[in-house]
Amino acid sequence: MTAAKTVFIRTFGCQMNERDSEIMAQLLGRCDCRLVSVPEAADLVLVNTCSIRDKAEQKVYSLLGHLRDVQAKYGRPRWLGVAGCVAQQEGERLIERMPVVNLVIGTQQFFRLPELLARLEHGEKHVVALDLSKDFVIPPFQHLLNSPSRADAASGAPVQRFVNIMQGCNNFCSYCVVPYTRGREISRPFADILEEVRLLVDQGTREITLLGQNVNSYGKTNQVAAGPRRFPDLLRAVAQVPGLKRLRFTTSHPKDLDLDLMRCFAELPVLCPHVHLPVQSGSNAVLARMNRGYTAEAYLGKVLELRRLKPDITLATDFIVGFPGETEADFAATLRLLETVRFASSFSFKYSDRPQARASQFPDKIPEDAKAERLAQLQEKQNEITFEYNRALPGRTVEVLVESAGENGQGRTPGNRIVHFTAASGQALPAPGALVQVRIDRAGPHSLTGTWF
Ligand code: SAH
Ligand code: SF4
Ligand code: F3S
């Protein structure tokens, strides 16, 4: 019998990648492989990669360079593998550029890892698996559902888990690489999603975030999997799972946020009053060139409607600054939109050319220093607004879902703010999974601390 193979996985990028890595680890666990925590101890080092911006991609190449040096020095890892979005985007070019790479696994092939690893073990020098659904073929989703650690409660189920409901994206925002790296939008069968949620809640998970690049087009593109049901139907069904305390979703596209979905916030008590709704820009000219499919006015209209239906809802968003051709006036419109909506938080990025995406061919690229200047301005404004939200909290009591309880407790508010708390004199802290009321005592620009009574 051969000895158990050891694998080290390093993950970059979004929750999709996190979940894919988790599944790969689980599949390896089924086939005489063991995860290790340092690359030098591994037979295979697998880097699960992100290519959303150039910087993310460059990080991958520098890590691969480092791993090549580790291999030269220690004779280990035996093999280097690349999975995820850079793997899908670059394919065989990765091996041409870095011949030390032995394994390239695309975003829809990761569930074949055990089989591909066996091929390396049988002496193949380079193994490449890149097939991607270019049309609406339903890939085998059972690897998502039947992953072993979903049924492994030994280590205690985390309080909060992500559940994939779809993969891919059909939106082709002109700056974005995801439709090329993740293929066409495919919805996961309704019943499989519900089964996974039930399984997780049975194991002790209390908060579920439904995950996809564009969750609110769930079921619109391949009706085989979802039948006549759409995202609001899915939310209503998941909300009924007994024992589930909180439900969230990410990410939703403003153009697909319809009234039926907005009503869910008013209708479903477990649905947290918080939504991540990436706006990208406040300028209609820029939004049109981005191919976003809405105007700033339409976006603001949806925000008003959401707040009418659910007055305590908080909003988060994403911004891109320095999109090709973005003028000072365009950028000023973005700042105005930020001030009008007063997002509780936002992620903001400098536009980055992605070779496959259309905007990489657009004229009037903005110089790096101008992008950096706009980013700093935007972030300063956002920090002020976030701090104002925080400053309104001391003295108020908020509901916290406890995620950990060591020396201090930590959890999140319905609005997804992290709260650190202590127990009032003498009490033991509540266990992870409990929903408790915490009085906020102090608010910093990025942190909230309080007391549980
Ligand atoms: N599907 C999700 C997430 C996309 S990636 C969505 O549409 O919301 C997350 C964020 O990265 C995007 O919202 C966008 O703000 C940013 N982003 C994507 N491509 C980018 C690029 N080429 N340059 C800079 N930021 C980018
Ligand atoms: Fe990219 Fe747009 Fe799809 Fe989001 S909706 S993944 S930004 S193409
Ligand atoms: Fe990155 Fe791919 Fe996710 S590009 S953000 S890992 S979908």
What separation in Å is there between the alpha carbon of 251 and the centre of ligand 2?
9
Residue 53 domain boundaries: 6-129
pLDDT for residue 152: 47
Percent of the residues in the chain that have a pLDDT greater than 90, as a whole number? 77
Nearest ligand atom owner, CA of 318: 1
Same domain, 356 and 376: yes
The answer to whether 173 is annotated as binding is: yes
411 domain residue, yes or no? yes
- Structure confidence by residue, pLDDT tens digits, 287-301: 999 999 999 999 999
What does the alpha-carbon distance between residue 137 and residue 225 come to, in Å, rounded to a whole number?
A: 11
The residue whose CA has the least distance to atom 7 of ligand 3 is: 178
How close is the Cα of 351 to the center of ligand 2, in Å? 14
Closest residue by Cα to atom 1, ligand 2, is 176
Q: Please check whether residues 151 and 68 belong to one and the same domain.
A: no
Same domain, 370 and 405: no
Is the CB of residue 315 below 6 angstroms from any atom belonging to ligand 2? no
What are the structure tokens assigned to 131, written together?
A: 């097939």
On the question of pLDDT at 432 being above 90, the answer is yes
| Residue 281, in any domain of the structure | yes
Of 391, 416, 437, the position where a domain reaches its end is 391
149 pLDDT higher than 70 = no
Query: Is the separation of the CB atoms in 4 and 34 below 8 Å?
Result: yes
Does residue 55 surpass a pLDDT of 80? yes
Q: Which whole number is the average pLDDT over 414-442? A: 93
Please tell me the least confidently modeled range out of 93-97, 109-113, 219-223, 309-313: 219-223
Q: What pTM does this model have?
A: 0.93
For residue 448, the CA-to-ligand 1 centroid distance in Å is: 28
Give 225's pLDDT tier (boundaries 50, 70, 90). low
pLDDT of the residue at 192: 85
The enclosing domain of 410 has a CATH number of: 2.40.50
Where helices occur in 30-123 by DSSP H, the ranges are: 54-74, 84-90, 93-97, 113-121
pLDDT > 50? residue 154:
no
Of the pLDDT bands very low, low, confident and very high (cuts 50, 70, 90), residue 322 is very high
pLDDT at 144 over 80: no
Residues 301 and 232 in one domain: yes
Residue 235 contacts residue 268 (beta carbons within 8 Å): yes
Residue 309 has pLDDT above 90, yes or no: yes
Domain end (from 87, 104, 129): 129
Q: What is the CATH number of the domain that holds 180?
A: 3.80.30.20
> Per the domain annotation, does 135 fall within a domain?
no
In a domain, 134, yes or no: no
pLDDT at 29: 83
**For the ranges 27-41, 248-262, 430-444, which has the lowest average pLDDT?**
27-41
385 and 405 in a single domain? The answer is: no
Q: Looking at the structure, tell me whether residues 195 and 333 fall in a common domain.
A: yes
Closest CA to 331 of 371, 294, 362, 275: 371
Q: Is 1 a member of any domain?
A: no
Round to whole Å and give the CA distance between 304 and 299: 9
Q: How confident is the model at residue 19 (pLDDT cuts 50, 70, 90)?
A: confident
Residues 207 and 341 in one domain: yes
| Same domain? 283 vs 299 | yes
Question: What is residue 187's predicted lDDT score, i.e. its pLDDT?
Answer: 86
Dihedral (CA of 198, 202, 203, 208) sign: positive
Decide if 98 is inside a domain. Answer: yes
User: What is the average pLDDT value for the chain, to the nearest integer?
Assistant: 91
Three-state SS at 267: helix
Mean pLDDT of 255-263: 96
What pLDDT, on the 0 to 100 scale, is given for residue 176?
A: 98
* Residues 32 and 179 reside in one and the same domain: no
Residues 414 and 387 in one domain: no
357 CA distance to ligand 2 centroid (A)? 11
Residues 378 and 405 in one domain: no
| Residue 439 lies inside a defined structural domain of this protein | yes
Find out whether the beta carbon of 214 lies less than 6 Å from any atom of ligand 2: yes
Q: Does 31 appear as a known binding residue?
A: no
Is 136 among the domain residues?
no
What is the count of structural domains for the chain?
3
Q: Which of 106, 129, 152 is the last residue of a domain?
A: 129
In CATH, what number is assigned to the domain containing residue 17? 3.40.50.12160
Which are the contacts of 384, defined by CB distance < 8 A and separation ≥ 6? none
pLDDT at 254 over 50: yes
Could you say which ligand is closest to the alpha carbon of residue 59? Answer: 3
Same domain, 105 and 165: no
| Side chain identity, residue 348 | S
444, 437, 443, 383: which is closest to 411 by C-alpha? 437
